[in-house]
């Protein structure tokens, strides 16, 4: 069983660059999610730092990685909220742009069972395009690991993928119509069950995969279509891992296995907001530290399980020294 990560010495700190979104999360708690046309009463409202890119950067930094963030916020009242977690975690914000207009905002509703629904207004994240990303080509070329998601413009994602000099982690969330070359460069491509089908559609537009096809078959299909490695997250069921530095690497993985099942610890979920981002950030930190993909995923599922036990996204993430489930 992997141990809780420890902070590396400053001279040996891994290098992770996250290119992505930073939002202020307006989080409302309710007993149930409203049905279309229905109004429900909320218990409370919080304004918290969020955005998939910022969440992943914070998660990696809190686990001891040296992290830089490329993104943008507006010049409005939400900018401080969006960046507060990044600053507190020690993420390098030298490449964070401040642009005229609004900061990205996510309106999050969390029901009593911990499940959430989210509406995202991109705001300044929409300016993180190819030109904005290209201004940081030196940083991306030197990074050990570059992490991307789908909450910035397509051409920004594609530019970052081209400029990445090290290992590229692509979390296709939400699914956007990127050039399939980005997915074939991803090592790994990180997707949940629904996003995996979206990725298949991008890689093989003429193909069809029924909803009843098993997760392992979907992972194998992605690999057959040219993705170097795949991590498919399955919430409380953990993750599936396949590809380079994946199957067969650790001693307890059966020789010749194509897809490795990485189970998650059982916990009582309070709020699932940002748990997937905690997983991706932890995965990136472990890969930058030199872990193989299966071992990195084993830490990441424990970090994701830790995160669902707390409220909000970034405030629920573990830091070096915290005991993981």
The answer to whether 313 touches 62, Cβ cutoff 8 Å, is: no
Confidence of residue 116 (pLDDT cuts 50, 70, 90): confident
Q: What is the mean pLDDT of the chain?
A: 90
pLDDT reading at 4 higher than 80:
no
Catalytic pick from 25, 187, 271, 277?
Answer: 277
Give the integer Cα–Cα distance in Å for 267 and 280. 19
How high is the pLDDT of residue 100?
97
Confidence of residue 3 (pLDDT cuts 50, 70, 90): very low
pLDDT for res 246: 46
Q: Give the chain's radius of gyration (CA, Å).
A: 18
> What is the model's pLDDT at position 190?
98
Calpha distance 306→319 (Å, rounded): 10
Residue 277 annotated in active site? yes
- Per-residue pLDDT of 177-198, as tens digits, reads 999 999 999 999 999 999 999 9
175-179, 245-249, 285-289, range with the lowest pLDDT: 245-249
CA angle 83–88–94, rounded 5-degree value: 55
């Amino acid at each position: 069983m992997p141990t809780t990560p420890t902070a590396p010495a400053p001279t040996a700190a891994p290098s992770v660059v996250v290119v992505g979104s930073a939002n202020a999360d307006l989080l409302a708690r309710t007993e149930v999610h409203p049905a279309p046309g229905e109004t429900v009463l909320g218990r409370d409202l919080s304004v918290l730092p969020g955005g998939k890119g910022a969440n992943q950067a914070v998660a990696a930094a809190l686990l001891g990685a040296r992290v830089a963030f490329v993104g943008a916020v507006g010049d409005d009242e939400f900018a401080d909220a969006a960046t507060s977690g990044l600053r507190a975690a020690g993420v390098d914000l030298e490449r964070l742009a401040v642009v005229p207009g609004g900061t990205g905002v996510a309106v999050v509703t969390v029901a009593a069972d911990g499940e959430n629904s989210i509406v995202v207004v991109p705001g300044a994240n929409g300016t993180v395009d190819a030109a904005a990303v290209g201004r940081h080509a030196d940083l991306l070329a030197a990074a050990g690991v570059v992490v991307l998601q789908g909450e910035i413009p397509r051409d920004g994602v594609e530019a970052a993928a081209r400029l990445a000099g090290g290992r590229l982690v692509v979390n296709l969330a939400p699914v956007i119509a990127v050039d399939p070359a980005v997915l074939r460069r991803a090592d790994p491509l990180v997707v949940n069950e629904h996003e995996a089908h979206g990725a298949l559609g991008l890689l093989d537009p003429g193909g069809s995969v029924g909803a009843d096809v098993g997760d392992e078959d979907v992972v194998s299909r992605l690999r057959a279509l040219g993705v170097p490695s795949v991590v498919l997250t399955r919430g409380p069921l953990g993750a599936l891992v396949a590809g380079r530095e994946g199957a067969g690497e650790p001693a307890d993985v059966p020789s010749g296995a194509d897809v490795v099942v990485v189970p998650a610890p059982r916990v009582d979920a309070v709020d699932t907001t940002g748990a997937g981002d905690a997983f991706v950030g932890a995965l990136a930190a472990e890969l930058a530290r030199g872990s193989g993909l299966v071992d990195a995923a084993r830490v990441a599922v424990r970090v994701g399980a830790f995160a669902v036990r707390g409220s909000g996204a970034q405030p629920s993430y573990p830091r070096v020294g915290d005991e993981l489930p």
